[in-house]
Amino acid sequence: MLRTRAEWQDYRTKIRLVWKNSTRVALQVHCAEDAACQFTWRCTYFLQSLGHAAGTLLVTSTGEHDHNSKPKVGSRQARLWTPRQEEDARKYMDAAEAGKRSVKQLREHMLSKNHLADSLSTLPQMSTWMRNFNCRKKQGKKVGQPAAAGREVAPTQVALDDWPRDGSASEDLYVLEPRVVSSTEVFVPYTCKGMLSTLSRFVGGEVNLAVDAKMKVLNGGAGVATLSLLVKDGLRSTDVNAGAGRVQGKAFTTRAMPFLQATMHQETTANYLRLFAVAETLRAQCCPSQLPLKQCVRQLHKDFAPAIEAARREAFPNSRPCDDWFHFKQKRRELESRCKFGDAGGQVLQGPR
């Protein structure tokens, strides 16, 4: 939500709830690196259609954010230090003897360089940073330097050639086409007979899909995207908001039935278009008498990744986006953990009922 521009990712923020009703929730996010900084984000999430479609997250900004130097692109410590803090921390690690470094001494060093205590990370975070610094230094790598852009294409291509094209058992994964493996891009779709049976059993003129990706779980920061069919389920035990707190109860739920996965190097529009194109092909193979997905997908559940939204508009023009409340609250909790609150900032948002 806050990564509207890469040069602002490194700066600490404080959040304030400014508006909440049945139609929208509005938050103001201020820079906390300098009390005089006038830079402000305004984030508005529309619960109902009001100038923008329901489920839209609108992010705007005012003021200039120029009190610190531009963060270094590609820094792996982007969320831990500001550029000046990172420079001072590295000087300490380079100057101190290996056996005499400690987290407390690093913190004291940072305070002696006139860094505010509230702007520094916690001791456990500093400890993790020191371990990573030492490991990368032993490997001869410059700390904070991004990994090489190229990938070892040939071994990966050989491994894919050996992977089956048709699973013998229902749980055996097999590779689909098209697949892209190059020094700059990776997209490898796969499924199994068990997952495809979901499409074969489904009969209906309207389709609701859900897509989600777990990135940075594979080498080089790659991840796995999963495309699921949403089906109605019966009454199930679940937590229900009941005003004063959460209570156990039963509610009608929706179940996600995965039928396609893909390994991808990044969440890009091109990769998601490939994923949706493979899904269209599988639909035609499993359900030749049904309408193509482009015509019958009515809703796509997703997070706030811009690449998914761009691909949805092109692949499923008749669908509407459903940006889930879970990811919105997750981002708010992430911001809260890095911020100080006044009386107005400590309120807890409730999801749409």
Residue-level pLDDT at 139: 63
- Which residue has better confidence, 239 or 255? 255
Lowest mean pLDDT, pick from 95-99, 228-232, 349-353: 349-353
Angstrom distance (rounded) from CA 308 to CA 300: 9
pLDDT category at 72 given cuts 50, 70, 90 is very low
Sheet holding 13-20, edge to edge: 13-20, 24-31, 40-46, 57-62
69 vs 41 pLDDT, higher one:
41
Rounded to a whole number, what is the distance in angstroms from the first to the last CA of the chain? 23
CA distance linking residue 112 with residue 124, whole number of Å? 20
Higher pLDDT, 337 or 342: 337
Query: pLDDT value at position 82?
Result: 76
Per residue in 137-178, pLDDT (tens digit) is: 776 654 444 444 444 455 555 556 666 666 565 567 888 988
Q: Determine the pLDDT at residue 163.
A: 64
Q: 23 and 50 in contact (C-beta within 8 Å)?
A: yes
pLDDT tens column, 250-285: 777 788 899 999 999 999 999 999 999 999 999 988
What secondary structure, in 3-state letters, does 178-216 show?
CCEECCCCEEEEEECHHHHHHHHHCCCCCEEEEEEEECC
Tell me how far apart the alpha carbons of residues 182 and 271 are, in angstroms, rounded to a whole number: 13
Residue 277, pLDDT score = 95
Reply yes or no on whether the pLDDT at 44 is more than 70.
yes
